[in-house]
Amino acid sequence: MAILRNLFRKKSIDVSAEQAEASEMKRTLNAFDLTALGVGCIIGTGIFVLTGSAAARFAGPAIALSFVIAALVSLFSAFSYAEMSTMIPIAGSAYSYTISSLGELFGWIIGWDLMLEYLVGASTVAVGWSAYVVGFFADAFKVNFSKATTGTPLSYTDEKFVRVEGAYINIPAIFICLAVTTILVVGIRESATVNTVVVFIKVLVVILFITGAAKYVDTNNLKPFIPKNEGGSKYGAIGVIRGAQRVFFAYIGFDAVSTAAQEAKNPQRDLPLGIILSLLICTGLYIATSIVLCGIMPYTKLDQPNPMTYALRAHSGTRWLQILVGVGAVAGLTSVILVLLLSQPRLFMAMANDGLLPPMFSRLHPKFKTPFYPTILGGVITAVLSGFLPVDLLGDMTSVGTLFAFFFVNVSVIIFRHVDPHRHRAFRVPLGPYIFPVLGSIIAILLIVISGKSTIIRLVAWMGIGLVVYAFYGYKHSKLPEFQNQSVVQPKGHEEQYSV
């Protein structure tokens, strides 16, 4: 019984607030920076990589509806993230919220899930980045790189691995992971500046694609808008839903915004703004892009790692647009990798501060004040994954991990509305706690259920490994008993800190 009680011991919100106040991390990010981080992470693989494959395999032109469904689910969860981020303004995102609402065991589970989400997510984007770099050099300079050094040696089709002849390692993907890791070690201000520049470039390019390619749209390519089901999850209503599950990975960005809480100047005000604005801006761009993309080429031909430039090649006079899209994709996917690899070490740091991971992961660089050990480790792991594994496998695993995190954040809102109803919240979920958070939880579970069987099996296997690690390290080294026993002294001005 004592062990069971320990598994569900909770971390006080006041302890988290005190840790955030005592942090040496530089608070340099404003609402614009946080919104740019969200857009930087959301506008990327969803538009430049996954839209084509999801349309070809699942939804057809109705991939636009898939994005709407995914956005609605994300909006429910975005509201919950916004409320929780104002209550617990500390790095760690869904992990920090869950360990305070459901206890240590569930906190560990979601933290372990987020590890997979960030590392595999960044690897997914790096594979797409490589495809666009190769295509850009071919379109702009007529330079063709060898498939042996720019492609992953495995593909993943119909839940089976297939050896790709002539491909051995994806060197561009490895390069971008290591380059971004170096930038992140240097500092959060420098990382945010780089992100803001590339976000501006890619949003401009997406708008240029929508307006420039619109004149090539053939409305016949959009008929039928929802293709007839061909069995399983291929087309029809189930295909639209399966497409939503596939592109859900695109909306991980606002989760990443909350991990930068300890580096926000005014987290109670700016985090909700960054989370919700980034989601709304990106959803509009996703819907418009998917309609234009399916309009300029039959959806059955869009199953490509670089669908936008591939579709443009079918139309004469679009070379300039192909080059611009290539530039935007390279810039856009770079910012996604940056935000994901920025989020991962801050999660490690939060877990290490609670004793669930070795203390080295919470150490800050003496000069740059960044968690440099987990940053370097995450960058190396991501480089290895992106160098050898296919984008389809990585994307599916990340989508399921994202949905898992959304479920726990929605549940956390419901719990705290009951156990701590009087705590000040700078933002409150509309129609909470019984409508939006409940809908967000239910839909997240449904989307997980319709994922491929092998994807769920891999997630369960990853969780099994995580529980073993927790049993042998996390449980024994947890600092939660110490937090529960200590008398938390509120920092001066605590009441003002939580006011609007």
> Across residues 113-129, what is the average pLDDT?
83
User: What domains can you pick out in the chain, each with its CATH number?
Assistant: 30-485 (1.20.1740.10)
What is the pLDDT of the chain when averaged over all its residues? 83
Neighbours of 485 (CB within 10 A): 7
**Residue 390: is the preceding peptide bond cis (ω within 30°)?**
no
The CA distance from 200 to 299, in Å, is: 29
Higher pLDDT, 222 or 38: 222
> Across residues 347-364, what is the average pLDDT?
90
Q: Is residue 496 very low, low, confident or very high in pLDDT (cuts 50, 70, 90)?
A: very low
Neighbours of 18 (CB within 10 A): 19
69 to 20, 78, 242, 257, 406: CA distances (angstroms): 35, 14, 10, 21, 15
For the purposes of burial, counting CB atoms within 10 Å of the CB of 377, is it exposed (0-12), middle (13-18) or buried (19 or more)? middle
- What is the pLDDT at residue 280? 86
The CA distance from 159 to 208, in Å, is: 36
Helix ranges (H only) for 58-103 are: 63-87, 94-101
Residue 475, phi-psi category: left (phi > 0), alpha (psi -120 to 50), beta (remainder): alpha
DSSP letter, residue 427: S
Enter the tokens of residue 268: 């109670």
- What is the pLDDT at residue 4? 81
> Across residues 116-120, what is the average pLDDT?
82
The CA distance from 249 to 245, in Å, is: 8
Position 14, amino acid: D
- What is the pLDDT at residue 391? 60
The CA distance from 379 to 384, in Å, is: 9
DSSP letter, residue 430: T
Whether pLDDT at 446 is above 90: no
Residue listed under structure tokens 């997630």: 459
- What is the pLDDT at residue 188? 62
Residue 157, classed as helix, strand or coil, is: strand
- What is the pLDDT at residue 60? 93
Q: Is residue 494 very low, low, confident or very high in pLDDT (cuts 50, 70, 90)?
A: very low
Whether pLDDT at 47 is above 60: yes
Q: What is the pLDDT of residues 236-246, one digit of tens each?
A: 988 998 888 77
229 to 236, 240, 253, 417: CA distances (angstroms): 4, 10, 31, 42
The CA distance from 398 to 137, in Å, is: 29
Q: What is the pLDDT of residues 251-288, one digit of tens each?
A: 766 676 777 777 778 877 888 888 888 888 888 898 99
Tell me if 239 sits within 8 A of 227, measured CB to CB: yes
44 to 73, 200, 203, 407, 429: CA distances (angstroms): 19, 13, 10, 23, 27
Whether pLDDT at 189 is above 70: no
For the purposes of burial, counting CB atoms within 10 Å of the CB of 143, is it exposed (0-12), middle (13-18) or buried (19 or more)? exposed
For every residue of 463-490, DSSP letters joined together read HHHHHHHIIIIIHHH--HHHHHHS-PPP
> Across residues 155-184, what is the average pLDDT?
84
Q: Is residue 487 very low, low, confident or very high in pLDDT (cuts 50, 70, 90)?
A: very low
Whether pLDDT at 335 is above 90: no
Enter the tokens of residue 106: 């569930």
Tell me if 10 sits within 8 A of 99, measured CB to CB: yes
Nearest alpha carbon to residue 192 among 14, 347, 32:
32
Whether pLDDT at 443 is above 80: yes
Q: In terms of pTM, does the model score above 0.85?
A: no
Residues in Cβ contact with 434 at an 8 Å cutoff, skipping those fewer than 6 apart: 414
Q: How far apart are the first and last CA of the chain?
A: 42
CA angle 41, 463, 360 (to 5 degrees): 70
Enter the tokens of residue 330: 């390279």
For the purposes of burial, counting CB atoms within 10 Å of the CB of 457, is it exposed (0-12), middle (13-18) or buried (19 or more)? exposed
The CA distance from 245 to 452, in Å, is: 10
